Structure formats: structure tokens, C-alpha cells
Amino acid sequence: MKTYLVTGGAGFIGSNFILYMLKKYKDAIKVINVDCLTYAGNLENLKEVEKLDNYKFLKIDICDKEAILEIFETYDIDYVIHFAAESHVDRSIRNPEVFVNTNVLGTLNLLNAAKIAWETDEGFKPGKKYIQVSTDEVYGALEGDEGYFYETTPLDPHSPYSASKTSADLLVKSYVDTYQFPANITRCSNNYGPYQFPEKLIPLVINNALKGEKLPVYGTGKNVRDWLYVEDHCKAIDLVTEKATVGEVYNIGGHNEKKNIEIVKIIIDTLLEMLPADDERRKHLSYDLITYVEDRKGHDFRYAIAPDKIKNDLGWEPETPFSKGIKLTIAWYLENMDWMERVTKGEYQKYYEMMYTTGK
């Protein structure tokens, strides 16, 4: 039985990953979820697995050296799937420090603990693997409509968030190059799907549109992102963990480039299609809600991933077209409005007011 240490498992992608893996492998795997529950961590996401004997939650900060070492002493960890991070670009522009602490020093801490636990005089124990879940943002931005990010594209991050993720990638690479540490790095494009915190574009627009509130579009709305349905991403990570050669880097993309303004309009159109004719929330739902606001500082123009290497080496391809994924996502939010209500209270609400009510 393989034991997975999943960090950041109470966040958006991490919780989708845990739910996907426990559904797929049932009690043939054990999952230890380490998360310190920042504003983005929500244990409600994991309600359906929390009572399972082969699932355990530990409220621990990945920067806590003693606590992380203790996990590796207590459990025979086979795989580390490292999602835990500060993940929002806008927050990183306001407060870079916590991004360096968690994303860089937290990663180093995990690498060290895994190295201590897994290294023997004859090299690393067989069957061990560390997966660094990274981002296409490490490649910087594509300036025009042409071209893609490949694994060989030079690293050129622009935001404090992407700089911290790049630093972490380089630390992982250094462990592979120096110690032959058994790791892979995956770099995915923008994920969307259930349980995404409504500070990111898609859930924010769904939430605001349902409340008849303004839909803030940064700058011209022409910036492009390459959207990947979160379950497709989870499948890719599972495959890389099981099949990839140590040291390889894989880009994971949705082949799904869209301008931000297109995304906003698709969400409005899809909501109008899905909401019953007599639903009150249709009343204010129109393109009139779209509000162009001040652009993000240093806003990367376009991200687009070429997932050719993962297709050729491991046979992975994105399965969910955006037309289907966005309906699944909106349906989930419509069925889980109480989830949205709860996460938009408290800390997030203060942040939201600072960003969108009192200006930047």
C-alpha cells in the first residue's frame, strides 16, 4: 500500500486530488493531508473522506521543520505531492513575503525532510517520489497570439508569486542534480472546477453574476489564459507520480486558450442557459455587469502550454473540453451556494473589499 503525503490538500486542487485518488484507489492507498489552513484551506471540501481509516488530516505549516520531520519519522511516506502554496498573483503583488516563506522555504523544508527519510548509504530507497506542483507562470508571458511554453522555454517569472514558484522549482532541480533526489516537476496552466476559492477569475465571476454584482475585468480583458479542468490535472499528476522518469519536467495544459473577456461572457451565457426561467437571479444577469477596472501591475499577457511531452511520454491528454467543464463547474457552484456563502465571509470578505471596493 502506497502512502501519499499531500500538502495543501484542503485547497482547491489538493482537495480535488485527494477526492479523485481515494475514489480511484479506494483503500489501496493511504493519504496524509498536511495543511495549515490559510484563508484558502477549507476542510469542508473533504467531508466525504474525513472518516475513512486510510485518510488523515494534520494541521501543520510546511515551514515547521520539527513537525515535518516528525511526519516522515511516524509514517513511511512513499509519495509527496506538494500543492501547498500561496497561490494568488494579486495577493503576491501586495505582500510578497509570505509567498517566499511558504513557496520557497516551505518547499526546501519538505525536500530536506524527504531526503533525510529516503536516503540510504546505497542511494535513495526505491519507489519513493516527490512531485513539485508548479505553474506555467514560471515561463513568464507570451507577448503575441503565437507560440507556446515548452519544458525547454527559459524560466522568466514576473510576479512575486511566479518568482517564488520558480525559486522552488530550481531548488527541486538542484536536489535532483546534486543528490539524484527522486523528483518530478509538473507545470500546469490555469485550473478551474469545483472548490476553487472565489478570488480567482472563474468562481469570482460566477459568484458575482449570481448576486447581480459587477464583474471586474482587469485592463482590456484581452489577456489570455489556457484553462485546464481540475480533474484532468489530477489524472496527469497521478500518471506522472506512477510513470515518469525521475528528474523529468512535464507541462500540463488544457489546449484551451481564452481571453478573459470571453470567459466572463461564456459564464453569463451559460448561467442564463442553466438557471430556470423563473429564477430571481436572472433579473440582473447580463453583459451590463461587466466592469473594466484598473489593470493588474505587470499583468502577464498570454499563457499557453504545449502538453506534447506528457502526451508522447505518458499518453496524457486533456479530456474535458471547456464547453463541458464550465457547465460542470457552474452546476457545482449552483448546487453548493452554501459553500460559497461560507467561504466569502470573514478574511476573504475583508480582502475582497480592499481589492474591489476601496480600490487598489
Site for ligand NAD contains 63 (CB under 6 A): yes
**Residue 223: contacted member of ligand NAD, ligand TYD, none (CB under 5 to 8 Å, by partner type):** ligand TYD
DSSP result, 29-59? EEEEEEE---TT--GGGGTTTTT-TTEEEEE
Which of the 8 DSSP states describes residue 226? Answer: E
- Residue 212 grid coordinates: 447581480
**CA-CA-CA-CA torsion for 147, 150, 12, 46, nearest 10 degrees?**
140
The residues in 147-186 that bind ligand NAD, with binding defined as CB under 6 A, are 165
Closer CB to ligand TYD, residue 79 or residue 99? Answer: 99
The Cα 69–Cα 163 span in angstroms is 27
Site for ligand TYD contains 216 (CB under 6 A): yes
Site for ligand NAD contains 234 (CB under 6 A): no
Min dist CB 155 to ligand NAD, Å, is: 14
Tell me which residue of 297, 338, 189, 313 sits closest to 251, measured CA to CA: 189
The residues in 40-59 that bind ligand NAD, with binding defined as CB under 6 A, are 40-41
Site for ligand TYD contains 217 (CB under 6 A): yes
Site for ligand NAD contains 329 (CB under 6 A): no
Give the list of residues 6+ apart from residue 219 with CB closer than 8 angstroms, or none: 292, 294, 295, 296, 299
* Total of chain residues touching ligand NAD, rule CB under 6 A: 30
**Residue 31: contacted member of ligand NAD, ligand TYD, none (CB under 5 to 8 Å, by partner type):** none
**Residue 253: contacted member of ligand NAD, ligand TYD, none (CB under 5 to 8 Å, by partner type):** none
Closer CB to ligand TYD, residue 103 or residue 109? Answer: 103
Give the list of residues 6+ apart from residue 171 with CB closer than 8 angstroms, or none: 104, 107, 108, 111
What is the CB-side half-sphere exposure of residue 190 using CA atoms within 13 A?
24
Min dist CB 65 to ligand NAD, Å, is: 12
- Residue 180 grid coordinates: 539524484
Closer CB to ligand NAD, residue 25 or residue 348? Answer: 348
- Side chain identity at residue 191, one-letter code: N
Active site residues: 136-137, 161
SS3 159: coil
Q: With CB under 6 A as the contact rule, which of the stretches 2-10, 18-26, 278-286, 321-329 interacts with ligand NAD?
A: 2-10
Contact positions vs ligand TYD (CB under 6 A): 89, 190, 200-201, 204, 216-218, 223, 225, 260, 296
